[in-house]
Structure 1
Amino acid sequence: MLMESTGQYWRPVWNILEPYGFKMILANAQHIKQVPGRKTDMRDAQWIAELGRCGLVSGSYVPERDIQNLRQLTRHRSSVKEDLTRRKNQVHDILQRSDIKLSSYLSDIFGATGQRLLSLFINGEVINEQLIEETISKRVHASPRQLFEAMNGSLTTINQQLLQLELATIRRLTDEIKECEQLIEEHLQPYEDLYLRLLEISGISQTTAQLVIAEVGPTVEAFETVERLASWAGLCPGSYESAGIQYGAKTTRGNRYLKAALCRAGLTAGRSNHQEFRAIYFKFSERKQKGKGVVALAHKLLRIVYMLIKTGETYTPWQQKKDSSYGNSIGVPKN
């Protein structure tokens, strides 16, 4: 049975038919596009059936049910974090248009001290230096006088009400993220060994390790080679050749969640004390191509992850074990 991957509409049909043992293939809509100008639902179904009879449809990766549940949790957390960032930016906009410059003295206005100072606006307190001194933490370097001048803006009633709504939403989203992380930890218990081994890789944080397991799964049976996994993740450049001339090409779209997480991990690894990762990052930095360096490190991390999952080995940094054969066995590509 062939189905086109369109939004979430394929999931109910898949969940109903999967227990009956049907051979099911989920096709990437981008790979089976019909001729432009001839799109209808009936023609799409006929076209997919014809491609299936010819064996021209490659199935998309659909993990087991437990990994699907974990994937939904990690993706929901990512969505909530994006929403939280937007809400925080809204608070910054409110303060800026009200001529309140707290961000000039506080590195994080949503920390404990920042929250207490923002609550002064909401509660309608008469702000003075003595009140600020009683509110701020001793670790704040700015003086009460400086903070008073930074808070001496023109916050209108509507902006005060908007600020109250945004801060309430930020607290709700923060609590939701914490609850989501607890659920993720519960679903990760069967894969604790793999999770701990991924954390030993330089640049891989707890969030990234959780997301890697949710997107790739505890095995790599769906990906015959590391190159296929890199292509699926969107971390290898496409090929473009015309008249015998090869041109540079951008990376493919791939799995946006895995690609973004590994690129963040690559940036962290490039700035870490790991000698090989630093060498790659600064080699591209000298050419003013830091973005390409981050993608190259993300690709290297993915190769390491692939071999760790496939072999069950524990990662050992290149400089700690000089045996090149071992380096290749854990997926460390040569420069």
Structure 2
Amino acid sequence: FLQSSGFRFTAFLSDAFGASGRNIIRHLMEYGNISREALDRCLKTQTRKRIDEILIALNGSLSEHQRGFLRMIFGHLEALEQHRHTVEDAITKEITKHEEALSLLCSIPGIDVTAAAAIIAEIGTDMSAFPDSQHICSWAGLSPGNNESAGKRKSAHINKGNPYLKSMLCEVGWVISGKRSLYLSGWYWRIKQRKGAKRATIALARKLLA
């Protein structure tokens, strides 16, 4: 929207919605264009060193109705961010009820608070629903299907399972694979040499869950 109106400040700001970017957008919503003095007030710290380049990139003007659209878009963005904060606060409040499980999960290399919260949200803390590790791995979609014919077991794709839990555990596995000093990382690389990265990641995710 802004680029089509002659504003290309994203070429000079790494985060268009950072402090400087938001200041510029708010100024444009109010006035429709920006002067060097106003830009200097909008920019923060290091970005001021490139003020002349940024000013050239902001050589545009917004009409009243364009400013109205910009206010609507920016207001929608801020509303979404507020909703996100509300959801995050609710998650934080809920996850504190499971501090022991959270602490145990976070003790596993590669699992941070976010990953631990996601795992607890999907599985819960009551494991009585799963008779053994094979059942929970199957439920999560980390167990290969049973493809057997004439007494011979063939390679089979893993089942669908819980996509959210599966993706989180695979992401954790990917993090672990990069920490070469860990036992699980060495285990991953041995599997990868024989079966490839994708299967090794699934295998590591299954090992973490089991």
Q: Same fold (TM over 0.5)?
A: yes
Q: Which residue of 1 aligns with 2:100?
A: 193
Deviation at 1:302, TM superposition (A): 1.9
Q: Which has the larger displacement, 98-107 or 200-209? A: 98-107
Q: Is the 8 A contact 1:101 1:151 kept in 2?
A: yes
Please give the alpha-carbon distance, in whole angstroms, between the structure 2 residues aligned to 1:288 and 1:163: 51
Which residue, 194, 207, 212 being the options, matches 2:114?
Answer: 207
Deviation at 1:191, TM superposition (A): 1.6
Amino acid in structure 2 at the alignment position of 1:227:
Q
SS of the residue corresponding to residue 249 of structure 1 reads coil
TM-score for the superposition, normalised by structure 1: 0.52
Q: Which residue of 2 aligns with 1:183?
A: 90
Please give the alpha-carbon distance, in whole angstroms, between the structure 1 residues aligned to 2:90 and 2:200: 34
Q: Which residue of 2 aligns with 1:317?
A: none
Deviation at 1:297, TM superposition (A): 3.3
Deviation at 1:246, TM superposition (A): 4.8
Please give the alpha-carbon distance, in whole angstroms, between the structure 2 residues aligned to 1:145 and 1:288: 54
Structure 1 portions without partners, runs of 5+: 1-93, 304-335
TM-score for the superposition, normalised by structure 2: 0.78
Which residue, 173, 192, 195 being the options, matches 1:266?
Answer: 173
Please give the alpha-carbon distance, in whole angstroms, between the structure 2 residues aligned to 1:268 and 1:170: 31
More helix by share: 2
Q: Which has the larger displacement, 131-140 or 226-235? A: 131-140
Please give the alpha-carbon distance, in whole angstroms, between the structure 2 residues aligned to 1:96 and 1:159: 12
Which residue, 183, 204, 208 being the options, matches 1:297?
Answer: 204
Which residue, 115, 120, 140 being the options, matches 1:233?
Answer: 140
Deviation at 1:241, TM superposition (A): 4.0
Which residue, 81, 84, 103 being the options, matches 1:174?
Answer: 81
Amino acid in structure 2 at the alignment position of 1:260:
S
In structure 2, the CA distance between the partners of 1:260 and 1:164, relative to structure 1 (3 Å rule), is farther
Give the root-mean-square deviation of aligned CA atoms: 3.3
Deviation at 1:290, TM superposition (A): 4.3
Q: Which has the larger displacement, 165-174 or 147-156? A: 147-156
Q: Is the 8 A contact 1:263 1:295 kept in 2?
A: yes
Which residue, 50, 72, 75 being the options, matches 1:165?
Answer: 72
Deviation at 1:143, TM superposition (A): 0.9
Amino acid in structure 1 at the alignment position of 2:172:
A
In structure 2, the CA distance between the partners of 1:189 and 1:137, relative to structure 1 (3 Å rule), is same
Correspondences of 1:1-335 after superposition (within 5 Å)? 94-95=1-2, 97-98=4-5, 100-140=7-47, 143-152=50-59, 160-242=67-149, 246-272=153-179, 275-279=182-186, 290-303=197-210
SS of the residue corresponding to residue 158 of structure 2 reads coil
Please give the alpha-carbon distance, in whole angstroms, between the structure 1 residues aligned to 2:9 and 2:171: 28
Deviation at 1:237, TM superposition (A): 2.6
Structure 2 portions without partners, runs of 5+: none
Amino acid in structure 2 at the alignment position of 1:263:
C
The count of corresponding residues between Structure 1 and Structure 2 is 210
Deviation at 1:204, TM superposition (A): 1.7
